Each structure stands twice: as structure tokens, then as C-alpha cells.
């Protein structure tokens, strides 16, 4: 069954995301962002780095590679990406995640 975030989340500013099949809504803090992502199957995020990121899988599955080590995360699993660690992600099935970014402007609103 396909779930979506409730209107209270999708009423937040939508993030301007350049990766095909990835949508997100921004909860903006003074020094951080929390982004609620909905990701379609087969979406991929190429290797990149930025400040620290913590996330939790709400639905689906992520193949997350951090500094060359790949691990699969499923519903309820948490992950942490240290600051400046090179990482990439694949989404074999539809996925919803919530990510905390240790930077104020990780994503800009559309």
C-alpha cells in the first residue's frame, strides 16, 4: 500500500531537489533542516558530501553507501552520516524517510 505524508507535512515548503523521483518538504530551523522525503523506486542519489545527517526510514528500503560501505536500511532503521563523509543512495522500492541536516540551507524551497 502506498502511503504519503499527511497534509500537515506536505503543506510545508517543498524542497528544490534535482534528483529525479525524489520529493521533500522542509521544516526549517535556525541552524538545521528537517526534510520529509518521498522517493520513488529506482531513484538514485549520486555520491556527495555535506555536514552531518541523521535519518530514519518510515517506509520502504534504502541501499546507503557511506565511505564505500553499503548497508540496507528498512522501516524503523536509523542511519548517521558524519560530516563530509562521501555517500550515495539507491532506492529499490518506494521509500519515505525523515532526515535531519546539520546545516541551515541544505535544500532551498521551490
- The answer to whether residue 18 sits within a structural domain is yes
- Domain membership flag for residue 84: yes
Closest C-alpha to 49, from 98, 9, 109, 106: 106
What pLDDT, on the 0 to 100 scale, is given for residue 3? Answer: 80
Decide if 109 is inside a domain: no
* Distance set, CA 93 to CA 1, 31, 48, 63 (Å): 12, 32, 22, 10
pLDDT the model gives residue 1: 52
Which pTM does this prediction carry? 0.94
Instruction: Tell me the pLDDT tens digit for each residue of 51-107.
Output: 999 999 999 999 999 999 999 999 999 999 999 999 999 999 999 999 999 999 999
Q: Are 50 and 43 in contact (CB under 8 A)?
A: no
- What's the structural domain count of the chain? 1
Give the pLDDT score at 42.
Answer: 86
User: What is the extent of the structural domain holding 68?
Assistant: 14-101
- Output the domain CATH number for residue 48: 2.60.120.10
Nearest to 72 by CA among 84, 88, 61, 83: 61
Q: Which three cell numbers stand for residue 16?
A: 528544490
Amino acid at each position: 500500500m502506498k502511503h504519503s505524508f499527511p497534509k500537515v507535512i506536505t503543506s510545508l515548503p517543498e524542497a528544490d531537489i534535482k534528483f529525479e523521483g525524489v520529493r521533500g518538504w522542509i521544516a526549517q530551523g535556525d541552524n538545521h533542516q528537517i526534510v520529509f522525503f518521498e522517493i520513488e523506486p529506482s531513484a538514485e542519489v549520486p555520491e556527495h558530501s555535506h555536514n552531518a545527517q541523521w535519518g530514519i526510514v518510515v517506509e520502504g528500503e534504502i541501499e546507503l553507501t557511506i565511505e564505500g560501505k553499503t548497508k540496507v536500511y528498512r522501516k524503523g532503521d536509523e542511519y548517521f552520516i558524519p560530516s563530509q563523509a562521501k555517500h550515495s543512495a539507491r532506492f529499490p522500492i518506494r521509500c519515505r524517510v525523515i532526515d535531519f541536516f546539520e546545516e541551515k540551507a541544505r535544500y532551498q524551497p521551490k
